[in-house]
Structure 1
Amino acid sequence: MSTLDVARKDFLDVRRAKIVWFVGALYVVFMALLVYFGQYGVSEPNVRDALWNLTAVGALFIPLIALVTAYLAIAGERESGAIKYLLSIPNSRRDVVLGKFLTRTVVVSASIAVAFLVGGALALALYPSPAMDVIAIMAALTLLYALTYVAVAIGISAATDSRSRAMGGSIAFFFVTSVLNVLGPLQLAIDYLANDLAGLEISSEQILFVQSLISPTTAYVNSTGLAFPDGFRTIPEELPWFLAGEVMVVVMLAWLVVPLALGTVWFGRADL
């Protein structure tokens, strides 16, 4: 067998997980509601406002979709013993990691694609200027953001040998990089460590860049400058080069590759 063989077998299992489809369906509902009600109460409705609000929702909700979909991909089979059968077919351990990632990528991508197709259809029907180019850019950025968390979840799952540890690791990662990030303590902690303790006197923009390296959520939010014009809502008129949308895309790509690589190495050394 190969990576694709593992992915095909895994897809038969994951498609039966109702919680995965339920969480994905919720995101589709959020998209439809935000785009539909975004036209009310304003004289000149702008779909960019609805997409901006969706970014705030997605910053917390997208990681949940990805983590719920992927955190048990390998750890669950290690705990049950099914992983030994999968490796005896035979498959390499790298095939297992990449195959599981491919399957969960398809499932998460399907949820996001449906959501943006629904949002695009509503924008065409309800808005005088649907800005389909902005919708397309946001769809691509959101998909990349989701896949970073799929990669993290697969990496955690590959590095743990039980459901409880995979769940604990995923919850901890989500809490630190999403919840604390959105609520503000993560930025305050970086500021305290860098400026108060280390005395580096780094600027708020540099703190935001460090925050982007620590949190895919920050990188995602900062990358939306590629879709929205400078000065829109809270986007500054001018940004330093290291906070440009293109740089944030590179950061998210790193978040996609590095956890998978580490998970593959760790799983390869695990005693099964």
Structure 2
Amino acid sequence: MEATIATLLTLSSMLLPIIGIMLGYGAIAGEAESGALSVVLTYPVKRIDVILGKFLGLSCVICASVFSGFGIAGIVISIATSATEWRGYLIFMALAILLGILYVSLSLFFSSILKRKATALGAGIFIFFWGMIIGTIWLGIYAATGGSIIELYTGKASFPEWFWYELFLSPQDGNQTATLLAFGIKKIMGISFDIPSWVNLGSIVFSQLLWVMTPLIFAVQFFKRRDI
């Protein structure tokens, strides 16, 4: 089951951010370019309702995608392997939904503050790659400050405590770590890591919720002041 989850986790960490970006990047900027947003705002609807409505609608698309994709996969895996770790698998699905919604929120934010949807798409892709490469950057900083990569992977050394803050700066890495913790997995590629007590499922989920709420709040504030 652990190997299956590792495969699905890699897939979800790549696909769901991309889906979230593609769903949200044109929600405001694209409709503003086409003139559709001007028509919507002629109706007696508040701008905050427009943003929240789009956010909730696109979030429902993410939920439906995860349930139809990973839900069916979970049933097949359960039948084929007699796996019983449903609690961990449901947490994995919930975290996958959270990751997708996080990128919907980010893409809506960029779509709200930028005039062109192409620029909003570029900003979303930048954040996506930021989440993918910051772990490598962090590892480079660790090596540059005297850390030994070889000793790290042979078990003779462990990450300093500051290294674990990276999980709160990268949505993908935080999501992957939270899923592994949900299954009680503390080994990656056969290597055990001493994880600080403050790095747990609750703290990572809280940080990911902040990743969702902060861009959404700013998106509302910018959209209220935007000239259409």
Tell me if TM exceeds 0.5: yes
User: Hey, what's the Cα distance between the residues in 1 that align with 2:89 and 2:178?
Assistant: 14
Say whether the 8 Å CA contact 1:212–1:251 is kept in structure 2. Answer: no
Say whether the 8 Å CA contact 2:9–2:176 is kept in structure 1. Answer: yes
Structure 2 counterpart of 1:221: 176
Residue 261 of structure 1 aligns to a residue in which SS?
helix
User: Hey, what's the Cα distance between the residues in 1 that align with 2:98 and 2:226?
Assistant: 29
Matches of residues 65-144 of structure 1 in structure 2 within 5 Å? Answer: 65-144=19-98
Q: Rate the CA distance shift 1:218–1:204 in 2: closer, same or farther, 3 A.
A: farther
Structure 1 counterpart of 2:211: 255
Q: Rate the CA distance shift 1:230–1:111 in 2: closer, same or farther, 3 A.
A: closer
Deviation at 1:143, TM superposition (A): 0.9
Residue 96 of structure 1 aligns to a residue in which SS?
helix
Q: Rate the CA distance shift 1:192–1:214 in 2: closer, same or farther, 3 A.
A: farther
Residue 120 of structure 1 aligns to a residue in which SS?
helix
Q: Rate the CA distance shift 1:190–1:261 in 2: closer, same or farther, 3 A.
A: farther
Q: Which runs of 5+ in 2 are unaligned?
A: 147-158
User: Hey, what's the Cα distance between the residues in 2 that align with 1:163 and 1:249?
Assistant: 30
Query: Which residue among 155, 160, 164 is the counterpart of 2:109?
Result: 155
Deviation at 1:136, TM superposition (A): 0.9
Query: Structure 1: which 4+ aligned runs deviate by more than 6 Å?
Result: none
Deviation at 1:169, TM superposition (A): 1.1
Q: Please tell me the root mean square deviation across aligned C-alpha atoms, in Å.
A: 2.2
Say whether the 8 Å CA contact 2:107–2:121 is kept in structure 1. Answer: no
Q: Which runs of 5+ in 1 are unaligned?
A: 1-46, 197-202
Q: Deviation string for 1:118-141 (max 9, x for gaps)?
A: 112112210033422221111111
User: Hey, what's the Cα distance between the residues in 2 that align with 1:181 and 1:130?
Assistant: 35
Q: Deviation string for 1:49-75 (max 9, x for gaps)?
A: 101121122222211111111111111
User: Hey, what's the Cα distance between the residues in 2 that align with 1:212 and 1:128?
Assistant: 33
Say whether the 8 Å CA contact 1:63–1:174 is kept in structure 2. Answer: yes
Q: Rate the CA distance shift 1:249–1:76 in 2: closer, same or farther, 3 A.
A: same
Structure 1 counterpart of 2:151: none
Q: Does 1:205 align with 2:205?
A: no
Larger relative contact order, structure 1 or 2 (CA cutoff 8 Å, min sep 6): 2
Q: TM-score under structure 1 normalisation?
A: 0.72
Q: Does 1:170 align with 2:89?
A: no
How many residues align? The count is 215
Q: Rate the CA distance shift 1:89–1:192 in 2: closer, same or farther, 3 A.
A: farther
Q: Does 1:264 align with 2:220?
A: yes
